[in-house]
Amino acid sequence: MSKILWVDLEMTGLNPATDRILEVAAIITDWDFEVIDTFEVIIKQSPEVLAQMPPEVEKMHKKSGLTDKIAGGLSEKVAEKELLKFIDKHFTDSTQVLLAGNSIHQDRRFIRKYWPSVDSRLHYRMLDVSAWKVVFANKFKIKSSKKSSHRAIDDITESINELQTYLTHIKTK
């Protein structure tokens, strides 16, 4: 695995059985965390789907400006195809792609449910920055602060920077 696929989703809530994806962003990096390419798509959802958002989620997406952009977004199927094209551009068909991000297991649950063709390209292992956060905060009392803008591309950039912060504390030979 010579590259990493960093992904962040913004959703109407945290339950893939009832909630939907509103935004996806991806960044491809090498293992020095140099950005190779970026991808961003807003997903159009019906007023009925948006009306189901919990008030705190609705407020968060309104504050970030995401809510105002949803009407002009792509369909979920088109977004899936575009993300798959982005992945295929950087990873060969035989390559299982390492998915990375903060609490990436949560995003993976939505990918698995709504975008099975993307999920089939992903390796079973994931690079979850939140696991590093738990270890460094509890074992070493080292914390990395994040702004949490709740826009997907910003959240990924912060995740990459957060992991780099933790790695500065590791001694190499």
Q: Can you give the CATH number for the domain in which 108 is found?
A: 3.30.420.10
Number of structural domains the chain divides into: 1
Domain assignment present for residue 131? The answer is yes
User: What pLDDT digit, counting tens, does each position of 108-130 carry?
Assistant: 999 999 999 999 999 999 999 99
Q: What are the pLDDT digits (tens) for 36-61?
A: 999 999 999 999 999 999 999 999 99
Does some domain include residue 31? Answer: yes
Which of 93, 165, 121, 94 lies closest to 26 in space, CA to CA?
121
End-to-end CA distance of the chain: 22
Q: Can you give the pLDDT at residue 173?
A: 66
Tokens of 32: 């020095």
Query: What pLDDT sits at residue 94?
Result: 76
Task: State if pTM tops 0.85.
Answer: yes
Evaluate whether residue 172 is within a structural domain.
no
| Domain assignment of residue 130, given as a range | 4-167
- Average pLDDT of the chain to the nearest whole number: 94
Q: State the pLDDT at residue 150.
A: 82
Catalytic residues: 124
Asked if residue 71 belongs to a domain, the reply is yes
Residue 115 domain flag: yes
CA 11/CA 76 separation, integer angstroms = 12
- Comparing CA positions, the residue from 63, 35, 44 lying closest to residue 148 is 63
Looking at residue 145, its pLDDT comes to: 77
Query: Which segments of the chain are extended strands (E)?
Result: 4-11, 21-29, 35-42, 97-101, 122-128
Within a domain: residue 150? yes
pLDDT at 58: 93
- Nearest-angstrom CA–CA distance, 149 and 128: 19
In a domain, 162, yes or no: yes
| Ranges of the chain whose pLDDT falls below 70 | 173
In a domain, 173, yes or no: no
